[in-house]
Amino acid sequence: MLRCLRWTTLLAVAVLTACGGGGSTLSSGGGSTSSSSSSSGGNNFSAGGPNVVSMTVGPGPTAGSSTFNSPYVSVTVCIAGTSTCKIITDVLVDTGSVGLRLFASVISGLALPNQVDTTGNGNVIAECLPFADGYTWGPVASADVTVGGEKASAVPVNVIDDTSSFVAVPSSCTSGNGTSLNSVDNFGANGVLGVGILQQDCGPYCAQAAVQQTNTQGATYYTCGNNTCAIYQELIGSQVTNPVALFPTDNNGVILQLPAIPATGASTATGYLVFGIDTESNNALGSATVLTIDPSSGTIITLFNGQTLMGVLDSGSNGLFFADSAIPNCTGSTNAEEFFCPTSTLMLSATNQGENGNSVLTPFQIANENSLNGSFFALDDVGGSTATITGLSDQFFDFGVPFFYGRTVFTGIEGTTAGSAAGPYYAY
């Protein structure tokens, strides 16, 4: 509905499609500098394989929703050690988060056992996950997770309680974070497959003693009895975990490959999610430039418009989000102002740089979002204002799905290596 309001016109925008291969040269700093808008590195995944999964940017689970640029795969979840399973379609592939999250309503009938605390009382571990405008809430469960031909056993996953069948949300969760996002519609997905650069979703912060997780600030992990929940010290090995890291093989990262699409967009786009980097004959890192990531912030350096920003390659965002006050925002519907509406398509570029000194010149385009076809689910050249917090020392450039079209993007998980590349890193 909102899409119809947002995109009232239907104009073709004539622009050049980003294209061309990437040449590499060595810079004086010893780092490799590439100029690339499409360095597929020759990876051809059409032959398939146990580590290759079809990934589609399409309508998702909710008919008529305003979803676009959401890449989905199917995931099979099973009660650990059994053949009692359910196939979950339209699970959003997210390089910007870690761990598998599924809505309770879509796994109904599959009684995944919840993780319990150490009291022996059967208290259940739950997760309050903060987002920019709200939170999700629900138990941590254990499941065998299969994606394509890869299976991880007894994975801590998060079941988001959209059926209100779990213990009520504690006030320190609701108070800290705003609005409940516990619905399929809020995500445009039946779940989220967080395949990002870390092993666990929270890490050392949540593994602190509960009293150190300042209680009025809320916490991520709770232990819940019948009616009440308390902040919990969730040790790292029990936290919601990147399923890829728990695969027996091909567990050092993922590759996302989406096809180039016309500047005017495409109804849908289908590419690949591939597990492992340099672990099989089909997933070589090749000539992709490795940009190592600051593990404390989870970001690379993005140089744009004279600014030094924190960059993320984020398949969970549907546009290229950055601050540029020179580009007008859209108007005319509820959240139109989040997107850019320049009078003509802008050809811009940023330089992404790793901690290792390697850098890649990264061209991109920003079209007038109102002029794009509102019935298309795959839209290149869509961007918008990041939540501009001018003056804060760290500002972000969020390279969402438009960045991924026409590229082969590698994300290496912390604590793993692929050849000489040590995670966490991005490469493309």
Q: Hey, which residues between 116 and 175 contact another protein (CB under 8 A)?
A: 117-119, 123, 130-134, 170-172, 174-175
Instruction: Give the Å distances, CA to CA, from 398 to 74, 77, 342, 359.
Output: 25, 30, 19, 17
Among 223, 239, 292, 371, binds another protein (CB under 8 A): 223
- Using the rule CB under 8 A, is 210 a contact of another protein? yes
Closer residue to another protein in complex, CB, 52/126: 126
d(CA 294, CA 298): 5
Q: Which helix (DSSP H) or strand (DSSP E) does residue 309 occupy?
A: strand 307-313
- Using the rule CB under 8 A, is 389 a contact of another protein? yes
Instruction: Give the Å distances, CA to CA, from 53 to 40, 187, 274, 275, 342.
Output: 17, 21, 6, 8, 36
d(CA 161, CA 24): 48
Among 21, 50, 149, 298, binds another protein (CB under 8 A): 298
Give me the least distance between CB of 191 and another protein, in Å please: 12
d(CA 329, CA 306): 21
Q: How many residues bind another protein (CB under 8 A)?
A: 92
Query: CA dihedral defined by 63, 68, 74, 77, rounded to 10 degrees?
Result: -80
Among 32, 36, 317, 408, binds another protein (CB under 8 A): 317
- Using the rule CB under 8 A, is 63 a contact of another protein? no
Give me the least distance between CB of 174 and another protein, in Å please: 8
The C-alpha R_g of the chain, in whole angstroms, comes to 21
Closer residue to another protein in complex, CB, 181/255: 181
Among 71, 148, 156, 316, binds another protein (CB under 8 A): 316
Q: Give the closest residue to 100 by CA, choosing from 74, 134, 68.
A: 74
Give me the least distance between CB of 318 and another protein, in Å please: 5
Closer residue to another protein in complex, CB, 45/321: 321
- Using the rule CB under 8 A, is 188 a contact of another protein? yes
Instruction: Give the Å distances, CA to CA, from 335 to 249, 314, 339.
Output: 43, 21, 8
Site map (CB under 8 A) of another protein, residues 231-260, x = contact? xxx-x-xx----------------------
Structure tokens at 351: 């330089």
